[in-house]
């Protein structure tokens, strides 16, 4: 041990590798905690991405919503006349309605029922900046015709292939025959397995109980050179208080804020990440605490030689850092594989960006550091008498 100090070989590393089984157990525990955090953060990011992909793609300057609306999947309708009233506001060039709903349809390949979000708007005025949709809007002018999201969750491979070959595919929804005229790609969400886009007329045919005079969302286009913030203030002053206007950026921020602070799913994933962090602390503490107990006599000897408690603390923190970094790298590899499996199974856009890997590494170092700080309390009791 004295030769170790002389050669400056990390004492923490030598203590860890002395009991290889214990070290492997600790690394497995840290990797498990890291994977748990990776998966929870991945699902949380997928939640934010999927639930804001349509709001981000809206082609408009101002978004008009019911004041009761919580997020894009829970929009309340408001009178369409609010859009006509918005047209009276100086600087407003156009105000268009968008209709949203959820319907059960039969998967044309498996014939199983599944939930799909459906969006309807005037095909002469694109509501979203989705190129695959915009150049096919003429197709949805035909009765009961829709565009289908090819990234929807479920088995649609054969159907997609047939549509790409120009074949006509039909299916049923509540005793209505639907024709799939084209494909686009956005992706599934936590709320729905996929999406359909159609004309406003087709939407109202599919939902006969929905009044044509009520809409889910309004898209307002401003005249060139108009300030969206000023226009939004003017609209909120002029229109009745059953609707609220947002700039496009404010609306996207509203969606993200809802998911972060009010969505139960967002809370669950945050809690899961926290639990993974706590599990890691407990596992590393058990390993370091056991190691301190096993080497208490050696620590007491060093203490008798004049070494201060700060040196012992450094050794334990050294072990914590080694464990955190060594246990992190296998977790990254496993997380990447699990992300790919999850994405294939759920059609959710779950990926591993470098920023998340760095974030989890920082959490891992903090996690092991906390464990080391707790474990070092026992070093205060190290006494030279313990060697006898």
- Burial-class residue 275 by CB neighbours within 10 Å (0-12, 13-18, 19+): middle
Phi, psi of 220 (to 5 degrees): -110, 125
The average confidence (pLDDT) of the chain is 85
Encode burial over 309-335: b for 16+ CB neighbours within 10 A, e otherwise. Answer: eeebbebbbbbbbbbbebbbeebbebb
For 97-143, write each residue's pLDDT tens digit.
999 998 888 889 888 888 899 999 999 999 999 999 999 999 999 99
Encode burial over 194-233: b for 16+ CB neighbours within 10 A, e otherwise. Answer: bbbbbbbbbbbebbeebeeebbbbbbbbbeeebebeebbe
pLDDT beyond 50 at 6: no
Q: What is the pLDDT of residue 14?
A: 64
* CA atoms of 370 and 282, how far apart (whole Å): 10
54 and 119 in contact (C-beta within 8 Å)?
yes
Q: What is the pTM of this model?
A: 0.72
126 and 119 in contact (C-beta within 8 Å)?
no
Q: What is the pLDDT of residue 47?
A: 78
For 40-88, write each residue's pLDDT tens digit.
999 888 878 777 889 999 999 999 999 999 888 888 999 999 999 999 9
Strands 214-215, 78-79: parallel, antiparallel or unpaired by DSSP?
Answer: antiparallel
Query: How do the domains of the chain map onto residue ranges?
Result: 2-50+264-387, 68-241
Q: Identify the band that residue 349 occupies on the pLDDT scale cut at 50, 70 and 90.
A: confident
pLDDT exceeding 70 applies to what percent of the chain?
88
Q: What is the pLDDT of residue 2?
A: 40
pLDDT exceeding 90 applies to what percent of the chain?
44
Which of the residue ranges 19-28, 104-113, 226-235, 316-325 has the most confident prediction, judged by mean pLDDT? 226-235
3-state SS of 104-115 is EEECCCCCCEEE
Q: What is the pLDDT of residue 300?
A: 66
For 177-208, write each residue's pLDDT tens digit.
999 999 999 877 777 788 999 999 999 999 88
Q: Identify the band that residue 167 occupies on the pLDDT scale cut at 50, 70 and 90.
A: confident
């Amino acid at each position: 041990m004295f030769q170790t100090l002389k050669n400056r070989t990390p004492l923490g590393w030598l203590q860890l590798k002395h009991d290889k089984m214990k070290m492997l157990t600790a690394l497995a525990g840290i990797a498990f905690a890291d994977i748990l955090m990776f998966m929870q953060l991945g699902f949380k990011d997928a939640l934010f991405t999927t639930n804001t992909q349509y709001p981000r793609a809206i082609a408009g300057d101002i978004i008009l919503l019911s004041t009761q609306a919580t997020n894009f999947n829970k929009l309340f309708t408001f009178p369409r006349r609010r859009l006509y009233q918005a047209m009276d506001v100086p600087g407003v060039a156009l105000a268009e309605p968008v209709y949203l709903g959820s319907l059960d349809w039969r998967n044309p390949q498996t014939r199983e029922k599944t939930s799909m979000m459906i969006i309807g708007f005037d095909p002469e005025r694109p509501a979203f900046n989705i190129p695959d949709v915009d150049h096919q809007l003429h197709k949805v002018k035909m009765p009961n015709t829709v565009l289908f999201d090819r990234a929807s969750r479920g088995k649609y491979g054969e159907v997609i292939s047939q549509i790409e070959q120009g074949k006509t595919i039909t299916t049923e929804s509540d005793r209505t025959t639907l024709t799939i005229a084209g494909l686009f790609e956005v992706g599934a969400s936590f709320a729905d397995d996929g999406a359909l886009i159609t004309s406003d007329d087709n939407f109202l045919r599919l939902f006969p109980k929905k009044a044509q005079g009520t809409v889910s969302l309004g898209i307002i286009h401003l005249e060139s050179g108009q300030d969206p913030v000023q226009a939004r203030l003017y609209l909120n002053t002029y229109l009745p208080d059953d609707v609220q206007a947002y700039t496009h950026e404010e609306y996207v921020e509203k969606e993200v804020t809802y998911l972060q602070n009010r969505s139960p799913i967002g809370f669950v994933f945050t809690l899961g990440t926290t639990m993974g962090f706590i599990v890691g602390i407990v596992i590393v503490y058990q390993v370091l605490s056991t190691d301190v107990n096993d080497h208490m006599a050696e620590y007491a000897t060093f203490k008798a030689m004049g070494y201060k408690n700060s040196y012992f603390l450094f050794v334990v923190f050294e072990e914590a850092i080694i464990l955190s970094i060594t246990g992190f790298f296998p977790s990254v590899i496993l997380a990447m594989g699990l992300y790919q499996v999850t994405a294939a199974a759920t059609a959710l856009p779950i990926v591993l960006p470098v920023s998340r890997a760095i974030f989890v590494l920082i959490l891992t170092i903090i996690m092991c550091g906390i464990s080391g700080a707790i474990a070092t309390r026992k070093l205060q009791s190290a006494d030279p008498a313990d060697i006898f």
